[in-house]
Amino acid sequence: MFIYPLNIKSKMTMSEMEKITIENIVASTSLAEHLDLSKIALALEGSEYEPEQFPGLIYRLQEPKTAVLIFRSGKVNCTGAKNLDDVKKTIDIIIDKLKKADIEVYDSPDIIVQNIVAVYDLESNLNLTDIAMSLGLENVEYEPEQFPGLVYRVEEPKVVLLLFGSGKVVCTGAKEENEIEQAVIKVKKDLQKVGLI
């Protein structure tokens, strides 16, 4: 079960929401109080476990195309999912495979979304220098010689937007899909207010 409010009224039109593309969801859960990673490495064919290099076990799935990191503490991180169904499906597959290998794990653990990375296209070229001066220095980082994008830290919802001259916006740090929508609405309003889109 997700710890995640899903049905929140959107202020975006359906066509605007369709322009938001989720690229990656990072979620975590706990499958047990303790896991024997050596035993799991044998049970999950193709898994990578080299404790002298990294303390967790890495297991990649082809369908859905995701990866999980499994730790001795029972904690599991899932990455690479493009939607919440794929996160749930990934965790269910891992639980099923571990149970078939007689490894005791929880039946339906809570899944917590840690980060959603999404892309949105403002469909307008952006003058990042003008935006940097207009949006206020306390929320903006823009050093074009080090990074080609402008970093815009939004306070509510607490996300980070990377704006590029092409009009592409990358949103990171969201924990819910509606936070991405809120951030996109906010940046569009902010840029419209100062006449930059």
| pLDDT 10s digits, 172-195 | 999 998 999 999 999 999 999 988
- pLDDT band of residue 9 (cuts 50, 70, 90) is very low
pLDDT in tens, 60-103: 999 999 999 999 999 999 999 999 999 999 999 999 999 999 99
Average pLDDT across the chain, whole number = 90
How much is the pLDDT for 4? 44
Task: Note the pLDDT of residue 137.
Answer: 77
pTM of the predicted model as reported, rounded to 2 decimal places:
0.86
Reduce the secondary structure of the chain to three states and give it as a string: CECCCCCCCCCCCHHHHHCCEEEEEEEEEECCCCCCHHHHHHHCCCCECCCCCCCCEEEEECCCCEEEEECCCCEEEEEEECCHHHHHHHHHHHHHHHHHCCCCCCCCCCEEEEEEEEEEECCCCCCHHHHHHHCCCCCEECCCCCCCCEEEEECCCCEEEEECCCCEEEEEEECCHHHHHHHHHHHHHHHHHCCCC
- What pLDDT is stored for residue 16 in this prediction? 58
User: Does residue 8 carry a pLDDT above 60?
Assistant: no
Tens digits of residue pLDDT in 31-67 = 999 999 999 999 999 999 999 999 999 999 999 999 9
Summarize pLDDT for 90-148 with one digit per residue, the tens: 999 999 999 999 999 999 999 999 999 999 999 999 999 999 998 877 889 999 999 99
Minimal CA–CA distance to 38: which of 77, 62, 70?
Answer: 70
With a CB cutoff of 8 Å and minimum separation 6, the contacts of 131 are 140, 142, 150, 152, 163, 191, 196
pLDDT of 184 = 93
Domains of the chain, start order: 25-114 (3.30.310.10), 122-193 (3.30.310.10)
